[in-house]
Structure 1
Amino acid sequence: MRTRTRDSMGMGETDLVALRYLLRATRAGERVRQRDLAQVLEITSASASALVDRLVRDGYAQRVAHPDDRRSVSIEPTQKSDEDVRSTLGAMHRRMLEAAESLSPEELAAVAKFLTALTRSVE
């Protein structure tokens, strides 16, 4: 799923993880600084800077003044990023539902039995 999302949005794995983190943080009302991204993604500050530059250049993020620290900026996702992620994931979710709905009750029971056994085997 990540590969398809990355390919659809034209970004690398780390950029997608960063964007998803920004979207979650924004929904939770949290401010994200570049150094926060570096820490969460376990990358250097130089790599975080390049990552943010790419997200800004491609219209997925913006730098805004941090309300609590005049020396700092927050990185926020743009409306475009939310729309692109929702559009890409929405299409994937529809295909997943179609696949599930195409199964007979017997096939669904077999899948459920397999997934339950698989889950128990790794717990």
Structure 2
Amino acid sequence: MLDPRVVDRDADLVPRDGLSDTEVDQIVRVLESLRSWHEASRRMSEASERYMRLNHTDMRAIRFLIAARNQEMIATPGALAEYLGISSAATTKLLDRLERGGHVERAPHPTDRRALAISVTDHTRHDARETVGRQHARRFAVAAALDADEREVVIRFLDGLAATGDDPAAA
């Protein structure tokens, strides 16, 4: 229930001074739409993970490796660990798992003999493109259908929402 008139009847937490019922209704609809988007996004991510038989961190690693390839960058275990925010030992386990699954290949780094170059296999790149890539293309089309002013409003709104999570004491 996202309606503050129900969950916070006395307006102790959610001030509504100066807002009409129509305005509160619209705000509630915005929050309900946002919740619907979160649920749809979660379902899409879970479906992609099931299809590719990978967990969330594995999928993030695959996306990183695809982006590195698309930018003609050499991905290393260290760069992947930094991106994922995990230890080198956890990265080794992740790469072992992805390599066993046929998702990545390790090769000697072309210019640093102490490093490895990590790349995503063509099969996994294709599967990711057909699932996650197509989903992203549909989301991009929705954003592209907005005019420039509407996109700025959405950006301001989402950035404002993101900033509400910056203070853990406020939770």
1:47 equivalent to 2:90? Answer yes
- Pick one of 59, 77, 89 that aligns with 1:34: 77
Larger radius of gyration: 2
String of CA shifts for 1:61-100, please: whole Å, max 9, x gaps.
0001100111211110110111111222366579x69xx9
Q: Secondary structure at the match of 1:59?
A: coil
- Taking CA–CA contacts closer than 8 Å with sequence separation of 6 or more, which of the two structures ends up with the larger relative contact order? 1
Choose which of 101, 107, 113 in structure 2 pairs with 1:70: 113
User: Which residue of 1 is the match for residue 132 of structure 2?
Assistant: 89
Gaps of 5+ in 2: 1-43, 143-150, 160-171
Structure-2 change in CA distance of 1:69 and 1:118 (3 Å)? closer
Number of matched pairs: 109
Whole-angstrom distance in 2 between the partners of 1:121 and 1:33: 36
Q: TM-score, normalised by structure 1?
A: 0.74
The residue number in structure 1 matching 2:30 is: none
Structure 1: segments with no counterpart, 5+ residues: 101-114
Runs of 4 or more, structure 1, over 6 Å off, are none
Confirm whether residue 5 of structure 1 aligns to residue 48 of structure 2. Answer: yes
Alpha-carbon shift at residue 45 of structure 1 (Å): 0.6
Residue identity over aligned pairs, in percent, reads 32
CA gap 1:2/1:68 in 2 versus in 1, 3 angstroms? same
TM-score, scaled to structure 2: 0.55
Q: Aligned residue for 1:23?
A: 66
